[in-house]
Structure 1
Amino acid sequence: MTKRMLMVMTSHDVMGDTGNKTGMWLEEFAAPYYAFKDKGYTITLASPMGGQVPIDPNSLADDAMTENAIRYTKDELARSAMAATIPLEDVRAEEFDAVFYPGGHGPLWDLSDNAHSIKLIEEMIAASKPVCAVCHAPIVLKDVKAPNGEYLVKGKAVTGFSNSEEAAMELTDVVPYLVEDELEKSGGKFEKADDFTVKVCSDGLLVTGQNPPSSRPAADALIALLS
């Protein structure tokens, strides 16, 4: 039977009080999406609000347009799916084999404290199904509890967009949360590579990636767990 992959993305499109646009980082969706698609997985896209997912305009700049990002721009089916995501509240964990959260700054606002997202992840883990999040998206894990009542990330190797990477973007004082700080507060053993280099942590059912270049390696780690 083909694997059923859920990808959960942000609906948030403004960077704090700056007025600048944000959203999902395209490479962090496109690289995993095509990794899953090329494996024959059935893919469902969801977001807190449903409908069109905002794409961070910075991820459409020439220097950010990877092979997979370019493939997405020419893929009418994928773009149509991105415009018609299902509302997160309508998602049922039992219908999927795994869940993947792409980053971008958007999730720091609308997925960090989202009750539907927390419930989804808790149900996936309780059913022994893997969860993966990359870059800013590991913020979705900060309040998730394991079946034993402890924080899910407690004692686990995790990664995500690091404090030094956020500082390099000059956004430390703009974002509502710093991924590194929040995962450490919840007891996670935060690991990081040099800024903007590949880092993936795979610990039990949890896979996390540090930044955009880590999105395909994180997807590959998730695929390995499913096979």
Structure 2
Amino acid sequence: MAPKVLVVLTSFGYIDSAKKETGWYLPEFAHPHEILASKGVEIVTASPKGGVAPLDPASVEQFKSDASSVSFLNTKSALWQQTAKIWSFLGRSEEFDALFYPGGYGPMFDLATNTDSIALIKEFVAAGKPVAAVCHGPIAFTGVKLPDGKPLLAGKKATGFSNAEEESIGLLEHLPFTLENKMKEVGAEYKSTEKVFEPFVVVEDGGKLITGQNPGSSAGVGEALAKAIGV
């Protein structure tokens, strides 16, 4: 039977205060998908609201010269246009080999605190399945507490979109918090590259916790996830 990875996408698509469309970020799903699919992994998608998970139009424009992103955009739209609701996967972790969260600004507004998502991550962690995320995706891990009450990220090396990278984008005033600050707040040993936007991936717990810093880290997260599930 083909290995299966459950990918959770945001349902949040518009930042009112910034008058800006947002969502999930194209290469952060496209690059890991290319790597996993080439190794025979089946991808299943979920989102808080189900249905269409909004794709950040800025990421389509910024990666219009990236062959992997363009191919994914043109041939795999069902993956984000027909997502199932997260709650429908609760109690089903045994059907999957891993859980993955692409980034984009959307997750900062819904997956950071979504109770179904938090329950899903707890279930995968309890089952010993790898959980992975890239860029803003790791925000989904910050609200997760283990059965002993300790945050999932407490004392763990992890990365995600840095404050320095946020400053270069210019949306700071429109965010509820920054990812780096929130990760540190829950006790993560936050790691990042010295140079902004350089690829950087952190693998903890023997592959059970995988985080990537920025869009350029997406392929690296895909490779780490493939290794973690043994494909």
Normalised by the shorter chain, which TM-score bucket?
over 0.9
Q: Deviations over 1:112-147 (max 9, x none)?
A: 000011111111011100000100011001111224
Q: For the Cα contact (< 8 Å) 1:160–1:180, is it kept in 2?
A: yes
Q: For the Cα contact (< 8 Å) 1:59–1:65, is it kept in 2?
A: no
Answer with 57-66 or 195-204: which moved more: 57-66
- 1:215 equivalent in structure 2: 218
- For 2:217 and 2:16, the matched residues in 1 are separated by 25
- 1:104 equivalent in structure 2: 104
- 1:196 equivalent in structure 2: 197
- For 1:192 and 1:64, the matched residues in 2 are separated by 27
- 1:32 equivalent in structure 2: 32
Percent identity over the alignment is: 39
CA root-mean-square deviation: 1.2
- Give the AA of the match of 1:215: S
- 1:82 equivalent in structure 2: 80
TM-score (norm 2): 0.94
Give unmatched runs, 5+ long, in structure 1: none
In the TM superposition, residue 97 of structure 1 has moved relative to its aligned partner by: 1.1
Q: For the Cα contact (< 8 Å) 1:6–1:96, is it kept in 2?
A: yes
- For 1:109 and 1:176, the matched residues in 2 are separated by 7
- 2:120 equivalent in structure 1: 120
- 1:70 equivalent in structure 2: 70
- Give the AA of the match of 1:109: F
- 1:151 equivalent in structure 2: 151
Task: Specify the SS of the correspondent of 1:36.
Answer: helix
Pick closer, same or farther for the CA change 1:131–1:150 going to 2, 3 Å.
same
Give unmatched runs, 5+ long, in structure 2: none
Task: Specify the SS of the correspondent of 1:61.
Answer: helix
- 2:133 equivalent in structure 1: 133
- For 1:141 and 1:68, the matched residues in 2 are separated by 27
- Give the AA of the match of 1:173: E
- 1:173 equivalent in structure 2: 173
Answer with 163-172 or 12-21: which moved more: 12-21
In the TM superposition, residue 57 of structure 1 has moved relative to its aligned partner by: 1.0
- 2:47 equivalent in structure 1: 47
Q: Deviations over 1:65-97 (max 9, x none)?
A: 42211111331xx11232111011111323211
Pick closer, same or farther for the CA change 1:95–1:16 going to 2, 3 Å.
farther
Pick closer, same or farther for the CA change 1:172–1:192 going to 2, 3 Å.
same
Q: For the Cα contact (< 8 Å) 1:27–1:65, is it kept in 2?
A: no
